[in-house]
Chains A and B, each alone.
Chain A
């Protein structure tokens, strides 16, 4: 216990710094993933054919082991001299987030009660009015669930990014493994887990604040 406290005394500034780095990486990746995934998911509800293809591709991306995907990023981004570091890690995380975000958005909009959609058209709403006023608000809980999945997923996968020099909490773990330092491994893992729980909790609060549960 004594050793623990001493370890934390010495390392807490560094853990904090890495946590912030980790959070920034994941947050930025999620924001970009949302900007791509949500509009794409909504668009796919109007194009069945494309929906099948896009969802399939997104599923395949998610099945690629993270370490392999990071590995593939290196030669690709070397072409623009960004082979190692922040950029490839960021791109990989954006790709990983796509499936939960696109699929949940698509499914949520698709599953809006058809009578409700009918009523929206029947009262004379244009397509964008129907989407903004009726379909998206009613689909929001499911879309948010997708976003939360993506965030938790990315916080976990983000640790692997340390292997390609993108920093973050993964650094503690990789160093811990390298040096056989259990304190480092455990504190890195704990920080990642706590960060994931914390982020999920915050998002759940936002979801509850801005959506109504529909009975």
Chain B
């Protein structure tokens, strides 16, 4: 758990980078700090492991005031992931991943075992990568190694500063999916900085939207999209925020709430879509008119029914207007 209590950061000359911030990252949750450049999100993140000083207020990490801990010990208990340049080019992949256990004085055997289990977790072959160096790896592989390094000493809390920001869109999505998969296993308490709205919606249990060092809204992604608290929030998410919110919902949810339509067996030109696909992709497929009919199938390939643009619209209307606070992550 990370608890921000009236946290303020001022620089000389009275400029406030962070103003009276209050929120809590619950255990096992991902909270994304989102906002335009210079909104104070990175500063706020770096105040947690005291790379930036705290002017006023307190930050509690797992129930302990961060200022009462030795900063070196504090940092060793917090996993820290930054963009790919954070790996040490002079060290092998194994040494990079095992840096915190090494600083903590683990034995060789413990480190070796941990390295193999971590590489298994991130889906890279330990023997292939052990002796290699960061510059021999692709951006995506480097980023996976960065995540493994942060997880090495099994810290309860992780800070991720635009970790996937330097990757190209296709790899980024893939690594986001992988990371969410890992998170379901390790259940870390994560504070995540992003400037990418889609990434925030996808990764976050809750989003902190910031502007000028202040929190504009702290809510679940669907709640923020459906019910922006002020003009800044609605403008930030854009006119297409309804469409963005669709990525939080799956065809399965639509089926559960309003049901699918019968499919017409006489139509030849059909395409199928998995029931666990999100509605945003589904809608794109429908609007591109790739086929005359889109049939929904489950994981075993069984045909459950057809989906139309009308259905998605109805569902959206239902989500936003129908029941204001029901929205959950898909």
Query: Which residues of A are in contact with B by a Cβ distance under 8 Å?
Result: 113, 115-116, 118-126, 129, 133-134, 137-138, 211-212, 214-215
Contact = CB atoms under 8 A, between A and B. Distances in A.
15 contacts: A113-B85, A116-B88, A120-B88, A122-B75, A122-B80, A123-B75, A123-B80, A123-B103, A124-B100, A124-B103, A133-B91, A212-B89, A212-B90, A212-B133, A214-B90
B103 A119 contact: no
Contacts of A215: 89, 135
A134 B90 contact: yes
A124 B135 contact: no
Contact of A214 (B73, B74, B86, B135): B135
A214 B90 CA distance: 8
Given A124-B103, A126-B72, A118 B86 contact: yes
A186 B80 CA distance: 62
B51 interface: yes
B83 A115 contact: yes
B8 interface: no
Given A129-B103, A133-B91, 18 more contacts: A115-B83, A115-B86, A116-B87, A116-B89, A119-B82, A119-B87, A122-B49, A122-B80, A122-B82, A122-B86, A123-B99, A124-B72, A124-B74, A124-B100, A124-B103, A125-B72, A126-B72, A215-B89
B3 interface: no
Contacts of B83: 115
Given A118-B82, A215-B135, A125 B103 contact: yes
B75 A115 contact: no
Contact of B85 (A115, A125, A212): A115
Residue with the greatest number of chain B CB neighbours at <10 A, chosen from A116, A121, A123, A133: A123
Contacts of B49: 122
A129 B103 CA distance: 9
Given A124-B73, A125-B103, A118 B88 contact: no
A206 B74 CA distance: 39
Interface of B: 49, 51, 72-76, 80, 82-83, 85-91, 99-100, 103, 133, 135, 149, 159
A132 B159 CA distance: 25
A214 B49 CA distance: 28
Contact of B75 (A116, A124, A134, A211): A124
B70 to A, nearest CB: 10
A88 B29 CA distance: 69
Contacts of B91: 133
Residue with the greatest number of chain A CB neighbours at <10 A, chosen from B74, B90, B100, B149: B90
Contacts of A137: 90
B82 to A, nearest CB: 6
A134 B149 CA distance: 15
A4 B35 CA distance: 80
A125 B99 CA distance: 9
Contacts of A121: 51, 75
Contacts of B99: 123
A125 B89 CA distance: 16
A129 B135 CA distance: 22
Contacts of A126: 72
A138 B90 contact: yes
Contacts of A133: 88, 91
Contacts of B74: 124
* Closest CB pairs A-B (n = 9): A124-B75, A119-B86, A124-B76, A137-B90, A122-B80, A115-B85, A215-B135, A214-B89, A124-B72
Contacts of B135: 214-215
Contacts of A214: 89-90, 135
B149 A123 contact: yes
A126 B76 CA distance: 11
Given A134-B88, A212-B89, A123 B100 contact: yes
Nearest to A213: B135
